Structure 1
């Protein structure tokens, strides 16, 4: 009897411990905004575009000045976020379209953050844009850990804010009255925003992971209501862009308000980021008016200078993430998978070898994790490579191009190339560029991509 009583007591304790662990699993929301730049937000210095909800999110949480994207275009940056692999190892390292619809898919068996969290008991959803494989391919979100999908699968399709159809899971549904060319009755983001709230309400009593992949403010620049910008002395494109950023802000505000309403605010980590840095040449119609280069960084989308890689990044978790903190310590998209796994108490599968490091301690106010280097590559034209080690940043704009070297501590704008006087550091950068990547037949290092035509977004 005594042995049986001890056995039952131990079994109850084990069950109680497991139940307690489940109760302590926080909800995780990652909001990925398509092309949102630091320079778009008031909390980063924007003066003309109003972003009160995101500014408040920054004041109630932490704002990151050196949060790095996966790379500076859509599909590979998102793939890095989902897999925890930087672009030296990630199976997707560029935008590659598949006809008639979709992008080059993530391969079968890819371990994603959604898969890890689903296996740990989380409800999982992706709302917005996917861009990593159509539903009949190995890259379908429904085959890679997501219980639910709503929005655009194909990033080319997502260029229209008045599309003729969207997807609910893998089922296409029509949007009558829409032309797909900037005119219609239904603004797609309205449906996507509503779906995120629906998912949160439905899963408020259990841990959930929401990947809210908002298309705003990516071009084509279309909006159903210019709102407070309607009478500004700006071009239509400038008015639309400002209204799109403010719409993004208001939709995130609705989500944050719902968390409070449901009383799950203090058990929910919300992270926000753009999928690349600035999207505009500072001399362009949008870039010039809104001064997206106000942070003083060089470069923009499709490059590997800091202006293309450092994106707007915020984190909020009341009582856990320090309020009002601003930090220059760096982190990168490939850190999200190990971070989410630690928060969920989930084991990372043995076949998954993420390049990232957990940010849990950093999110809660500690120092950023120490690492040897950060690495990026991109294959949109010439194969670009960049590596950061300590304060040093090296960029090579093609395998036959010289390596440039910058001291980010004294020259974040990357205006002074120090390569000529630092041959030892150039040699170290070249060695890292070689060792940090795995050769892949789909992603050879080339000086110019064969058949390269018009640039795709």
Structure 2
């Protein structure tokens, strides 16, 4: 780790210490804006700055050149809802309320309970205007998971992550109200949810454009206030209910239209490049408004890629994909930019996770970090080498009737267990990521003492999870 990066985080803390501020109006003006762009199913290798050769992402690559690129950043989970729960609450999957994709009636996924403290609530309580745009996945207006009950002043997009499969829906939701669109759809019944999903037969209004326009408007409207924008784009997630060649829904294939690729590949690449275009527009808007130097912008993904667009090697050299606790399912890109605060061209190689963002944001504004938070401010373990040796990252994954899985990373060692309810029924896998980036050689039998130590961490990290008995209301 370079000294410039350490100085950047030290500067963050000193710059935003409450004692350094004068009047309350001065505090309000100097509080940094935070934009968190959280995309869907984008793989570790999908960006040029992470080695992608075929899909063009010049704006995000430029962000990496002007800021920081994390090489060992991890999602909270290999699927949508629990990944978002870890992000919002700062808890890993051993203690988080939501640990798998559980759909509930009348709409949406298992909600965050009232007592959970979210990133948005911390920022809102400290004078921030807050908004979530895109895919929520953590409840709906009919229950405690409504984003406007969890610290967000405004919401526009999809409450239900399954509805978000369709980019040309008949309806979106804004602050609890349904907004009718001009699209027409065909219902599709699937076995993982109790209400029909859909794909469009008449495509007029593209949700990814509508939602992004609202996000950009929020930035414009709050240029004079400290704000937190959580832009949770559904791009480039597929619509599994659409015909196979139409699953990556986008108005046109743009620069990839004349390529000799399949429709699936063209659609996927066009979606990723659209995300890149939007990132360019966000950073241009901040410059236009004169607030770029007071805005931290972060770009990351909720989990690893799907299996559809194999040409692009979206997981890079990593093993696995979405739904796996191998690196390809949980290691994701993270790029951050903050002109004048974060030094340009830095690469961070220390492991960090999605649930570290809540305490990092709290520390930046000198707010209290909730006791339940498993994450740590990124600056803490970047500065303290001894501290980083104690730190571990932890995951659990549940899906249907399959045996629950666990993974833990401590230093360069990573252990996976594939049936932690009955560990004797499956062989553990141990990898040294420093020497085996692709998790190809299982070292469990060669290093039983490491397996024993990491298994103990797993046992301590896991708290009982009776999701089947949870009342979703």
- Please indicate, yes or no, whether the TM-score normalized by the shorter chain is above 0.5: yes
Aligned to 1:22: 28
How far apart, in 2, do the equivalents of 1:412 and 1:246 lie?
27
Aligned to 2:81: 75
How far apart, in 1, do the equivalents of 2:448 and 2:42 lie?
37
Aligned to 1:312: 333
- The superposition leaves residues 31-80 of structure 1 with CA deviations (integer Å, 9 ceiling, x where unpaired) of 10001112111111111111111111111111111001001000000000
The answer (yes or no) to whether the contact 2:65–2:345 under 8 Å persists in 1 is yes
The answer (yes or no) to whether the contact 1:97–1:103 under 8 Å persists in 2 is yes
How far apart, in 2, do the equivalents of 1:366 and 1:24 lie?
28
1:92 equivalenced with 2:98 (yes/no)? yes
Aligned to 1:196: 215
The answer (yes or no) to whether the contact 1:229–1:242 under 8 Å persists in 2 is yes
How far apart, in 1, do the equivalents of 2:55 and 2:156 lie?
28
Aligned to 1:263: 290
Question: CA RMSD of the aligned region, Å?
Answer: 2.0
Q: Post-superposition shift, 1:170?
A: 0.6
How far apart, in 2, do the equivalents of 1:33 and 1:359 lie?
21
Q: Which runs of 5+ in 1 are unaligned?
A: 1-12, 445-457
Q: Post-superposition shift, 1:278?
A: 2.9
- Most deviating of 223-232 and 86-95: 223-232
SS of equivalent residue, structure 1 residue 409: coil
Aligned to 1:3: none
**Residue 324 (structure 1) aligned to one of 337, 342, 345:** 345
1:159 equivalenced with 2:154 (yes/no)? no
How far apart, in 1, do the equivalents of 2:380 and 2:391 lie?
18
- The superposition leaves residues 340-397 of structure 1 with CA deviations (integer Å, 9 ceiling, x where unpaired) of 1111222235xx421011124678x997962431110010132010011121100011
Aligned to 1:114: 120
1:286 equivalenced with 2:309 (yes/no)? yes
Normalized against structure 2, the TM-score is what? 0.86
Task: Report 1:157-306 matches (<5 A).
Answer: 157-179=163-185, 180-182=198-200, 183-220=202-239, 221-280=248-307, 285-287=308-310, 289-294=311-316, 296-306=317-327
Q: Which runs of 5+ in 2 are unaligned?
A: 1-18, 186-197, 240-247
Normalized against structure 1, the TM-score is what? 0.89
- Decide whether aligned partners of structure 1 residues 81 and 15 sit closer, same or farther in structure 2, where only a CA change above 3 A counts: closer
Aligned to 1:9: none
Aligned to 1:337: 358
- Decide whether aligned partners of structure 1 residues 226 and 362 sit closer, same or farther in structure 2, where only a CA change above 3 A counts: farther
- Decide whether aligned partners of structure 1 residues 368 and 94 sit closer, same or farther in structure 2, where only a CA change above 3 A counts: farther
How far apart, in 1, do the equivalents of 2:386 and 2:63 lie?
21
SS of equivalent residue, structure 1 residue 228: helix
The answer (yes or no) to whether the contact 1:93–1:443 under 8 Å persists in 2 is no
Aligned to 1:346: 367
How far apart, in 2, do the equivalents of 1:79 and 1:310 lie?
17
- The superposition leaves residues 191-225 of structure 1 with CA deviations (integer Å, 9 ceiling, x where unpaired) of 11100111011111111111110000000210011
Aligned to 1:422: 447
- Decide whether aligned partners of structure 1 residues 443 and 327 sit closer, same or farther in structure 2, where only a CA change above 3 A counts: farther
Aligned to 2:5: none
Aligned to 1:6: none
The answer (yes or no) to whether the contact 1:359–1:368 under 8 Å persists in 2 is no
How far apart, in 1, do the equivalents of 2:465 and 2:403 lie?
16
The answer (yes or no) to whether the contact 1:358–1:369 under 8 Å persists in 2 is no
The answer (yes or no) to whether the contact 2:356–2:377 under 8 Å persists in 1 is yes
The answer (yes or no) to whether the contact 2:359–2:376 under 8 Å persists in 1 is yes
How far apart, in 2, do the equivalents of 1:345 and 1:65 lie?
27
Q: Post-superposition shift, 1:440?
A: 2.1
Aligned to 1:31: 37
How far apart, in 2, do the equivalents of 1:178 and 1:190 lie?
17
Q: Post-superposition shift, 1:398?
A: 1.5
Aligned to 2:6: none
- Decide whether aligned partners of structure 1 residues 337 and 401 sit closer, same or farther in structure 2, where only a CA change above 3 A counts: same
How far apart, in 2, do the equivalents of 1:82 and 1:267 lie?
23
Aligned to 1:8: none
The answer (yes or no) to whether the contact 2:304–2:315 under 8 Å persists in 1 is no
The answer (yes or no) to whether the contact 1:357–1:369 under 8 Å persists in 2 is no
SS of equivalent residue, structure 1 residue 38: coil
SS of equivalent residue, structure 1 residue 419: coil
- Decide whether aligned partners of structure 1 residues 140 and 317 sit closer, same or farther in structure 2, where only a CA change above 3 A counts: same
The answer (yes or no) to whether the contact 1:68–1:309 under 8 Å persists in 2 is yes
- Decide whether aligned partners of structure 1 residues 15 and 29 sit closer, same or farther in structure 2, where only a CA change above 3 A counts: closer
SS of equivalent residue, structure 2 residue 38: strand
1:442 equivalenced with 2:442 (yes/no)? no
1:374 equivalenced with 2:396 (yes/no)? no
